[in-house]
């Protein structure tokens, strides 16, 4: 009776063999049988038996592989090299006695350009859709980049090419190299880290990302999604120079500027010191010329002032004033005479006019001027006076008082 | 006025160009013009020295981990 609960609560204990069989049954999942896997070859070994032992990996994981000699032969004898991208078909197997899990491969082929292009096109389309390559997001590169960050391999010829161009064109600059691998499956995360290291600094004006020419597989890291996204997101402006002139990788679209080659990138980035020398010489000449001009014009002003001063000296002024006064005096006399003559004439004319319009002239002829005695108002018609009104009659030699009858 | 020796080429040349522009306008007094010209002359000499003595500097930052 007491045993019953014990039976239900006791955890099962397996033997190793039983456990191994359980693992095996899980590995019998359809997806692990006849599976196709793509990856990079590392740790390749060909045993004396003719079997191939190698590892297939990417940046996240690795799988041990084995290819029996019979399958190698059936596969056409293709022998992968370390670093190759391959496509393998096989089945996961557990070698129970050792507990090793291996991918037993029956078909193996190198990943052709066709497969890579397919991946390239898919990723490119997706990133375009996301707007990562939009022209509006492209920033201008600094005109005077005295501090240039470079992401590349220090041993690569590409780096030496860049330095050569910079020394020739723009020795005023300082180069800050952030070293990285530039091919292989470990390259993408390394490139991303190298880029981040430069972006974390506050003394870099532009970042040049480059590597020399190679096969499409060699350049593949620069098509890697992680690298492309990192370049697009770079805080500091970027310029890429990857491969030869005809090569195009996705980082070229993500960067703010692209160049055909590493050397070309260094050229695009920098002003030519020759041009700077010429500009400086010209500016110095301008400076000299303007200064001479200012002195000359000031000298001219000075001369003019001296001449003015001479003309305005006291002696000169007095003499001139005297001349003026004398001259005026004579003219004044002439004018006075002329005025007198004019006045006389005007008087005569005025007198004539006055005489002609003398209101008293009719009186001399014998006419009388009749007015109301009290108001002085003139009476011109019989209606202007009533019987009994007091009148004054003005004659040429005096007045008479009268009353209307 | 900043110490001439420490000026970068870019900044020194920009100041030099500005001085030339100011002098070209010819609206300044003779006094100021002379002062500016002197400053311009020193800037130009400094720029020339920088260009003639320039050598590319290369540093490698620590392997980013």
Quote ipTM for the complex.
Answer: 0.80
Q: Do B10 and A177 touch (CB under 8 A)?
A: no
- The pLDDT of residue B6: 83
CA–CA separation, A248 vs A223, rounded Å?
A: 9
pLDDT at A6 over 60: no
Task: Indicate the average pLDDT of chain A.
Answer: 87
Which residue in B47, B56, B62 has the most chain A C-beta atoms within 10 A of its own C-beta, making it the best mutation to test that interface? Answer: B56
Could you tell me how far CA A216 lies from the centroid of its own chain? 34
Chain B residue with CA closest to A159: the answer is B58
Q: Please list, in sequence order, all residues whose beta carbon lies within 8 angstroms of the beta carbon of residue A235, skipping any fewer than 6 positions away.
A: A199
Contact between B43 and B12 under an 8 Å Cβ cutoff? The reply is: yes
Q: Do A196 and B58 touch (CB under 8 A)?
A: no
Q: Residue A169: name the closest of A65, A261, A273 by CA.
A: A273
Could you tell me how far CA A163 lies from the centroid of its own chain? 27
| CB contact residues (below 8 A), chain B span 12-51, against chain A | 13, 16-17, 19-20, 23-24, 26, 30, 33, 37, 40-41, 44, 47-48, 50-51
Q: Residue A154: name the closest of B36, B35, B61, B39 by CA.
A: B61
- The pLDDT of residue A329: 67
What tens digit of pLDDT does each residue of A166-205 get? 999 999 999 999 999 999 889 999 999 999 999 999 999 9
- The pLDDT of residue A1: 46
- The pLDDT of residue A164: 96
How many CB pairs below 8 A link A and B?
Answer: 91
> What's the mean pLDDT in A197-224?
93
Three-state SS at A332: helix
What percentage of chain A reaches a pLDDT higher than 70?
89
Residue A358 confidence class, pLDDT cut points 50, 70, 90:
low
Residue A389 main-chain phi, psi, to 5 deg: -65, 140
pLDDT at A218 over 80: yes
A contacts of B58 (beta carbons < 8 Å): 163, 174-175, 177
Q: Distance from B63 to chain A by nearest Cα, in Å?
A: 6
Residue A357 confidence class, pLDDT cut points 50, 70, 90:
low
Residue A347 confidence class, pLDDT cut points 50, 70, 90:
low
> What's the mean pLDDT in A314-340?
71
| Interface list for chain A against chain B, based on CB atoms closer than 8 Å | 144, 146, 154, 163, 166-167, 170-180, 193-194, 196-198, 273, 276-277, 279-280, 283-284, 286-287, 290-291, 293-294, 297-298
Q: Distance from B30 to chain A by nearest Cα, in Å?
A: 8
Q: Do A287 and B20 touch (CB under 8 A)?
A: yes
- The pLDDT of residue A354: 65
Q: Do B56 and A298 touch (CB under 8 A)?
A: no
Q: Do B56 and A276 touch (CB under 8 A)?
A: no
Q: Distance from B18 to chain A by nearest Cα, in Å?
A: 11
> What's the mean pLDDT in B24-29?
76
Contact between A262 and A158 under an 8 Å Cβ cutoff? The reply is: yes
Q: Do A294 and B60 touch (CB under 8 A)?
A: no
pLDDT at A361 over 70: no
B contacts of A146 (beta carbons < 8 Å): 8-10
> What's the mean pLDDT in A90-97?
94
Q: Distance from B10 to chain A by nearest Cα, in Å?
A: 7
Q: Do B30 and A277 touch (CB under 8 A)?
A: no
Give chain A's count of helices (H) and strands (E). Answer: 12, 13
Q: Do B50 and A172 touch (CB under 8 A)?
A: yes
pLDDT at A289 over 50: yes
Q: Do B30 and A298 touch (CB under 8 A)?
A: yes
What tens digit of pLDDT does each residue of A34-89 get? 999 999 898 899 999 999 999 998 878 999 999 999 999 999 889 998 888 899 99
Q: Measured at the alpha carbon of residue A258, what is the angle toward residues A256 and A259, in degrees to the nearest 5?
A: 150
Length of chain B equals 65
Residue A114 confidence class, pLDDT cut points 50, 70, 90:
low
pLDDT at A10 over 90: no
- The pLDDT of residue A21: 94
* Of B55 and A6, the one with more pLDDT: B55
Cα–Cα distances (Å) from A208 to A3, A182, A297, in that order, read 76, 13, 52
Contact between A87 and A118 under an 8 Å Cβ cutoff? The reply is: no
Helices (H), A236-367: 250-254, 262-269, 273-311, 314-356, 361-365
Hey, is the C-beta of B7 within 8 angstroms of any chain A C-beta? no
pLDDT at A390 over 60: yes
Could you tell me how far CA A375 lies from the centroid of its own chain? 99
- Indicate the domain borders of chain B: 4-53
């Amino acid at each position: 009776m007491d045993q019953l609960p014990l039976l239900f609560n006791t955890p099962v204990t397996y033997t190793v063999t039983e456990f191994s069989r359980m693992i095996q049954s899980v590995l019998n999942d359809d997806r692990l049988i006849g599976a196709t896997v793509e990856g990079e070859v590392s740790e390749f070994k060909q045993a004396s038996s003719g079997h191939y032992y190698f590892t297939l990996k990417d940046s996240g994981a690795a799988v041990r592989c084995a290819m029996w000699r019979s399958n190698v032969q059936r596969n056409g004898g293709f022998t992968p090299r370390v670093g190759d991208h391959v496509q393998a078909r096989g089945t996961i197997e557990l070698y129970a006695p050792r507990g090793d899990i291996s991918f037993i491969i029956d078909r193996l082929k190198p990943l052709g350009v066709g497969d890579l292009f397919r991946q390239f096109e898919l990723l490119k389309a997706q990133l375009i859709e996301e707007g990562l390559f939009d022209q509006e997001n492209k920033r201008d590169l600094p005109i005077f980049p005295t501090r240039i960050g470079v992401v590349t391999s220090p041993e690569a010829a590409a780096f030496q090419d860049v330095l050569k161009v910079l020394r020739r064109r723009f020795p005023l600059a300082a180069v800050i190299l952030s070293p990285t691998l530039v091919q292989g499956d470990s390259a993408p995360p390394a490139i991303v880290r190298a880029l981040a290291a430069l972006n974390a600094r506050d003394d870099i004006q532009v970042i040049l990302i480059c590597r020399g020419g190679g096969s499409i597989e060699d350049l593949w890291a620069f098509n890697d999604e992680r690298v492309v996204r990192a370049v697009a997101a770079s805080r500091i402006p970027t310029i890429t120079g990857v491969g030869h002139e005809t090569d195009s990788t996705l980082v070229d679209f993500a960067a703010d500027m692209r160049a055909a080659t590493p050397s070309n990138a260094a050229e695009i980035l920098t002003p030519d010191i020759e041009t700077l020398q010429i500009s400086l010489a010209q500016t110095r000449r301008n400076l000299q010329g303007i200064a001479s001009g200012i002195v000359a014009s000031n000298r001219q002003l000075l001369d003019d002032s001296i001449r003015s001063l001479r003309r305005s000296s006291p002696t000169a002024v007095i003499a001139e004033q005297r001349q003026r006064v004398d001259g005026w005096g004579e003219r004044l006399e002439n004018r006075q005479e002329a005025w007198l003559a004019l006045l006389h004439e005007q008087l005569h004319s005025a007198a004539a006019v006055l005489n002609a319009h003398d209101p008293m002239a009719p009186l001399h002829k014998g006419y009388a001027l009749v007015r109301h005695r009290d108001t002085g108002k003139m009476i011109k018609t019989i209606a202007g006076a009533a019987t009994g009104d007091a009148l004054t009659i003005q004659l040429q030699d005096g007045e008479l008082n009268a009353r209307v009858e | 006025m900043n110490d001439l020796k420490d000026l970068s080429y870019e900044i020194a040349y920009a100041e030099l160009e500005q001085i030339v522009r100011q002098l070209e306008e010819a609206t300044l007094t003779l006094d100021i013009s002379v002062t500016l010209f002197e400053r311009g002359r020193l800037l130009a000499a400094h720029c020339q020295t920088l260009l003639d003595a320039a050598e590319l500097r290369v540093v490698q930052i620590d392997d980013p981990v």
